[in-house]
Amino acid sequence: MDRTPNLGFLTVQQEPAGWIGALLITNHWGRPLEFHITSPVLPSRIQQILYGPTWTAYVCGEVLAKALLEKVTVPLNFVITDIPEVVANEAVTVPLLFLETNPNSETGIPGVCLLTTDSCQLILPQSQTSQEQTIRNLLSTLSALDFAEPFDRLREAIRESRRLGVTARAA
């Protein structure tokens, strides 16, 4: 892997128009390299019935996250997400870390806590622990980075794109 890691920050928001995913790729200083956003995905009533309680995991992980990650053009070392349903997606080939901003909450994500700061924890899901040492080595080079802050930028970018009526066809 590259000595200067590129990180992905991926989130999904439910909006009145549907579910919207956004992905920010940054360099090791937190400067943006790429940004991708999806068009809203709104389930039909039939989809809601057929997918039942698995709809959220399906749309977040298998539809939006997959579509966003397929658009990436720069090498990507790992992706951090604040959405538990994205972490459950086994179709994604890049390592996924879960950002837990409330260490007292129960997300139900079994895994290894790789990093704990004053504001968050980064959790590597149990299904990806074979990459633990590689990711720990990369994280050690990023000690000054605030891993929660890019999600503020993502949410603001989603709001701005809604205001401007801009969405790319990534999903």
Domain with 131 in it: 7-164
- One-letter amino acid of 42: L
Query: Is 171 within a domain?
Result: no
pLDDT given for residue 1 in this prediction? 45
Query: Is 153 within a domain?
Result: yes
User: Whole-prediction pTM value?
Assistant: 0.88
CA distance 67 to 125: 21
The HSE-up count of residue 160 (CA atoms within 13 Å, CB side) is: 8
Query: Is 138 within a domain?
Result: yes
DSSP-derived 3-state class of residue 134: helix
Query: Is 133 within a domain?
Result: yes
CA distance 14 to 40: 9
Instruction: Report how far Cα 139 is from the mean position of its chain's Cα atoms.
Output: 16
Tokens representing residue 154 in the block: 């993502």
Query: Is 114 within a domain?
Result: yes
pLDDT above 70 coverage of the chain, percent: 90
Nearest CA to 67 among 95, 46, 91, 34? 91
Query: Is 1 within a domain?
Result: no
Query: Is 111 within a domain?
Result: yes
Query: Is 54 within a domain?
Result: yes
Q: pLDDT per residue over 140-153, tens digit each?
A: 888 778 899 999 99
Mean pLDDT (the chain, rounded): 86
Q: How many domains does the chain have?
A: 1
